[in-house]
Structure 1
Amino acid sequence: LNLLCTLVFGVDAVKTVTVMEGDSVTLQTETELQTDDVIMWQFEDEKTPIATINSGTESFFTFDVPDGRFRDRLKLDHQTGSLTITNTTTKHAGRYQVRTKIIYRFSVTVYARLPAPVITSNTSQNPSSSYCSLVCSVVNVSHVTLSWYKGNSLLSSISTTHLNNTQLCPACSGISEVILMIE
């Protein structure tokens, strides 16, 4: 006779949290600390904790990881055990887990602040053709959408992580031709 007993101690769902770089993010435990609760926060697959709470001894500790990404950035809520990461950077993106009586999992995405786009132009006129090249670029940002508008009309939109493509838009009047090249 085999007896199979399954106990569910955790929540399998992963809560997705987004934050802008430089802002703070709080990972909520959605509980109140009870006497003798022991809580451990972990980042990614690290075995060592980034924060621990022992409410029985009123011990609240935060720890850094070897690369220093959490130095002076972690705060613990003494009532709930929630973890706040201050002044976030993209290095704080990843999976977090807190072990209480149940397990909560979080997936944190940190978006870089979007700098102003830079537009450069280059024009060329010769007897065979004329063109104007407009290049719109944003540096140090991935997953960006660049769009060109004329008034309220969308002319072109590029959504990619690699913006190394060129789009041409020729305009012909029958006598001359102008090509709009979007790199």
Structure 2
Amino acid sequence: MFIFICLCLLTMVGVFGVDEAQSVSVMEGDSVTLNTDVTEMQRDDLIMWTFGHILIAKINGKDKKKEFYDERFRNRLKLDQIGSLTFTNTRTTDSGFYKVTSSRTEMPLNTFNLTVYAYLPVPVISRDCSLPSSETSSNQSCLLVCSVLNVSDVTLSWYKGNSLLSNISVSDLSISFSLPLEVEYQDNNTYSCVLKNSISNQTKHLDISMLCHTCSDCVYCCGPTEAVIRLAFSALVGVATVAVLVYDIRSRSLQWQKSPSNAD
């Protein structure tokens, strides 16, 4: 019985001793304040803020002296008279766990999980010409791709009107992130590609008439990578042609100068 009571007490201590972090989200560049929930600071109090296990700021209740330590937050942190911490010009690297403690209590005053989101780019919709029309499900359809670069903690979705067609999510930083969509050439429905995180979104609307052409019709209708390759190849061919012409002209000129009739 004694052992059972001890186990129960240990379980209760484990449950009530766990810090429940408050989730706070903000866009990069904005300001945010993490509150201590203290109404008045006592003279014998010392309030300290840590980022992970690193001390970043503290304020002394006796003289209200404020000190800041970590160089990554240089000139971007402020403490008010009761120890609440304000970030200005937030950065994505500010994301993480923050804890505020008081010398007068054993338990933390507050714990926060701060997430700073970068501004989302507008998705890019392009034609995927990597497959011949004979390999698609229909000769009357074209394959489109919605793409974004350098994003994390986002979801990329295709919508037909207000109806979700497909989506894909990524948590870690992704250099290239894309989602395909096959549409009919004569489709008159409204399609849009939406990139979003928990607090913001960016939308790109699809213009089928602009993108869905036969690939031989124009360079623009194909994906940006293929378009760049085609342009680079064309430029290379042009440079090579000019080089050959210049060489031929110089050769003819030298032959003319060395001919017997011109030697006299």
TM-score range for the pair, normalised by the shorter chain length: 0.7 to 0.9
1:12-161 mapped onto 2 (5 Å cutoff): 12-31=19-38, 32-46=40-54, 49-64=55-70, 68-78=71-81, 80-100=82-102, 101-102=104-105, 103=108, 104-123=110-129, 130=139, 132-161=142-171
Higher relative contact order (CA 8 A, sep 6+): 1
Structure number with the higher helix fraction is 2
Runs of 4+, deviation exceeding 3 Å? 122-131, 161-171
Which amino acid letter does the alignment assign opposite residue 19 of structure 1?
V
Which amino acid letter does the alignment assign opposite residue 97 of structure 1?
K
Distance 1:39 1:127 in 2: 70
What is the RMSD of the two structures over their aligned residues, measured on CA atoms?
3.0
- Residue 167 of structure 1, CA deviation: 5.2
- The range that moved more, 50-59 or 151-160, is 151-160
- Residue 72 of structure 1, CA deviation: 1.1
Structure 1 residues 126 and 140 mapped into 2: Cα distance closer, same or farther (>3 Å)? Answer: closer
Distance 1:137 1:166 in 2: 7
What is the SS of the residue equivalent to 2:23?
Answer: strand
Distance 1:107 1:95 in 2: 5
Judge conservation of contact 1:17–1:107 (CA < 8 Å) in 2. yes
Distance 1:128 1:26 in 2: 56
Structure 1 residues 137 and 128 mapped into 2: Cα distance closer, same or farther (>3 Å)? Answer: closer
- Residue 58 of structure 1, CA deviation: 2.5
Judge conservation of contact 2:49–2:57 (CA < 8 Å) in 1. yes
- Residue 73 of structure 1, CA deviation: 0.7
- Residue 26 of structure 1, CA deviation: 0.9
Which amino acid letter does the alignment assign opposite residue 53 of structure 2?
D
Structure 1 residues 105 and 53 mapped into 2: Cα distance closer, same or farther (>3 Å)? Answer: same
- Residue 159 of structure 1, CA deviation: 2.2
Judge conservation of contact 1:36–1:57 (CA < 8 Å) in 2. no
User: Whose radius of gyration is greater, 1 or 2?
Assistant: 2
Aligned residues: 159
Between the two proteins, what is the percent identity of the paired residues? 52
Structure 1 residues 15 and 122 mapped into 2: Cα distance closer, same or farther (>3 Å)? Answer: closer
Distance 1:139 1:164 in 2: 6
- Residue 166 of structure 1, CA deviation: 6.3
Structure 1 residues 119 and 77 mapped into 2: Cα distance closer, same or farther (>3 Å)? Answer: same
What is the SS of the residue equivalent to 1:69?
Answer: helix
TM-score (norm 2): 0.52
What is the SS of the residue equivalent to 2:150?
Answer: coil
What is the SS of the residue equivalent to 2:152?
Answer: coil
Unaligned runs of 5+ in 1: 172-183
Structure 1 residues 61 and 18 mapped into 2: Cα distance closer, same or farther (>3 Å)? Answer: same
